[in-house]
Amino acid sequence: MFITSKLQSWIQSGLEKRVQLFPDCEIITDDSTDNPKITMIQRFANMSELQLKLSKVELRMKDKDGDIEIDTFIYDPPIHTMDFGSKIEASEDGVFSPLNLNCWIKCETTKLSQVIPDYPGKEIEIDVCGKIQFATKTTKKDKVIEAEESITFKSKRERIVS
Q: What is the pLDDT of residues 64-98, one digit of tens each?
A: 777 899 999 999 988 888 888 889 999 999 999 99
pLDDT band at 33 (very low <50, low <70, confident <90, very high): confident
For the chain, list the domains and their CATH numbers.
2-161 (2.60.40.10)
**How many other β-carbons are positioned within 10 Å of the β-carbon of residue 137?**
8
Instruction: Give per-residue pLDDT as tens, 34-65.
Output: 889 999 999 999 988 889 999 999 999 998 77
DSSP state of 76: B
User: For residue range 107-116, what is the model confidence (pLDDT) as tens digits?
Assistant: 999 999 999 8
Q: Number of helices (H) and strands (E) in the chain: give both, helices first.
A: 3, 10
100-154 confidence digits (pLDDT tens): 999 999 999 999 999 988 888 888 899 999 999 999 888 888 999 999 999 888 7
Least confident of 1-5, 12-16, 154-158: 1-5
CB atoms < 10 A from the CB of 112, how many? Answer: 24
Confidence band of 6 (pLDDT split at 50, 70, 90): very low
Q: How much is the pLDDT for 3?
A: 44
Is the Cβ–Cβ distance between 148 and 128 less than 8 Å?
yes
